């Protein structure tokens, strides 16, 4: 057993001063005031002056440290996950770009190999397929040559390769066959997410009625707010059944827009993501394609947390769930992920007072 003591704990929705966390067999056995802990023979870690928060969960993550999940190798996947773990990510949904079917299957197989890895790594909570059934005019950095119409047979191929591990799929609700695609995803218990779309408000609302429950990187690569047609962005903002992703890097999203979203959407329906590419951990400069399109981000979730706190002026208890509890709820894992509570997985991040990551624990094991 491990006892972490003298920390300020954010559960994430509750703050506990002078707290303690007892870890047993990879799970949290106790979380609360230090004074309530009986004398135990355990390994003690005194983190006085530090803050303990739940491990960060990134549901939209492509790459880092020069590698991308689409590289299709176990080594590349390991580099990506280890890079983000150092900055607090203890669980992730590897995200695969629009590509040739063979490349997508290869990437799925590479991620699958990590299930037997002996390294301490962020937990893989499933896969996020960002396409290929999207709108060409809103493809962003997705290669136009691989954008294609919905095919149930093709989707079935990916599901088979992933062993039912696909959890989210980004699609454009206005494309031909969107209705059958959404129904197919719901049947397979895959979350339909609207993105890379030029949908009108009417088309977007129809997609939400059909079962879309998530919005991929809100405002980016989608029809935006216009007073005669609020577009996909407006439909996602106005329907409280839908969660939305925000890339809080100050490039994909102006700080004022982040504030606006927190005033419109229930805070429990906002999820911070990185959409990180190969440059994460190496560069903070805007990443663009040759024709000027934004190409993911270079941030890690600790940066997103600090940015949102600074931009909105809201307390930690309101912002922290956006990268811990909220993504866990979306994936149906809130009982064991995204919180510091008895019985939950011991996924923890230890921060200093400036919210820099000092230590990371994944299921009770210290990440390197």
CA distance 267 to 272: 11
Return the H-helix or E-strand segment holding 205: helix 201-210
Residue 176: strand, helix, or coil: coil
CA distances (Å), 332 to each of 67, 114, 312, 352, in order? Answer: 29, 22, 27, 30
CA distances (Å), 273 to each of 14, 193, 199, 217, 364, in order? Answer: 22, 14, 23, 8, 24
What are 294's strand-pairing partners? 288
Q: Which of 71, 239, 275, 347 is catalytic?
A: 275
Structural contact between residues 269 and 236, judged by C-beta atoms closer than 8 angstroms: no
CA distance 57 to 135: 28
CA distance 173 to 179: 8
CA distance 343 to 349: 17
CA 339 to chain centre: 15
Look up 345 and say whether it is catalytic: no
Give the gyration radius of the chain's Cα atoms.
20
72: left (phi over 0), alpha (psi -120 to 50) or beta: left
Closest to 27 (Cα-Cα) out of 50, 51, 2, 45: 2
Structural contact between residues 365 and 26, judged by C-beta atoms closer than 8 angstroms: yes
CA distances (Å), 101 to each of 70, 112, 155, 185, 351, in order? Answer: 12, 17, 10, 18, 41
For the annotated catalytic residues, the residue numbers are 275
């Amino acid at each position: 057993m491990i006892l972490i003591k003298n920390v300020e704990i954010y559960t994430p929705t509750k703050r506990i001063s002078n707290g303690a966390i007892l870890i047993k067999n990879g799970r949290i056995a106790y979380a609360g005031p230090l004074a309530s802990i009986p004398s135990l023979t355990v390994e003690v870690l005194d983190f006085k002056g530090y803050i303990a928060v739940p491990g960060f969960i990134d549901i939209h993550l492509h790459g880092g440290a020069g590698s991308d999940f689409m590289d299709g190798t176990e080594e590349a996947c390991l580099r990506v996950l280890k890079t983000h773990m150092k900055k607090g990510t203890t669980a992730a949904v590897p995200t695969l770009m629009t590509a040739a079917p063979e490349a997508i299957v290869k990437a799925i197989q590479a991620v699958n190999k990590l299930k037997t890895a002996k390294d301490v790594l962020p937990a893989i909570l499933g896969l996020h397929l960002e396409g290929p059934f999207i709108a060409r005019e809103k493809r962003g950095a997705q290669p136009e040559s691989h954008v294609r119409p919905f095919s149930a047979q093709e989707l079935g191929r990916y599901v088979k390769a992933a062993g039912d591990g696909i959890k989210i799929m980004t699609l454009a609700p206005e494309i031909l066959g969107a209705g059958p695609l959404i129904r197919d995803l719901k049947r397979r218990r895959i979350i339909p997410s609207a993105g890379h779309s030029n949908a009108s408000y009417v088309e977007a609302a129809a997609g939400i009625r059909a079962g879309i429950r998530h919005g991929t990187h809100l405002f980016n690569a989608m029809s935006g707010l216009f007073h005669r047609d609020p577009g996909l962005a407006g439909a996602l903002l106005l329907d409280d059944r839908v969660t939305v992703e925000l890339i809080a890097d100050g490039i994909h999203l102006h700080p004022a827009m982040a504030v606006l979203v927190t005033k419109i959407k229930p805070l429990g329906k906002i999820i911070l993501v990185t959409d990180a590419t190969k440059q994460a951990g190496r560069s903070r400069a805007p990443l663009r394609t040759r024709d000027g399109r934004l190409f993911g981000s270079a941030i890690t979730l600790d940066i997103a947390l600090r940015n949102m706190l600074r931009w909105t002026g809201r307390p930690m208890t309101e912002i922290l769930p956006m990268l811990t509890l909220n993504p866990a709820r979306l994936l149906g894992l809130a009982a064991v992920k995204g919180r510091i509570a008895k019985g939950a997985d011991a996924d923890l991040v230890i921060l200093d007072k400036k919210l820099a990551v000092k230590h990371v624990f994944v299921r009770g094991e210290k990440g390197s």
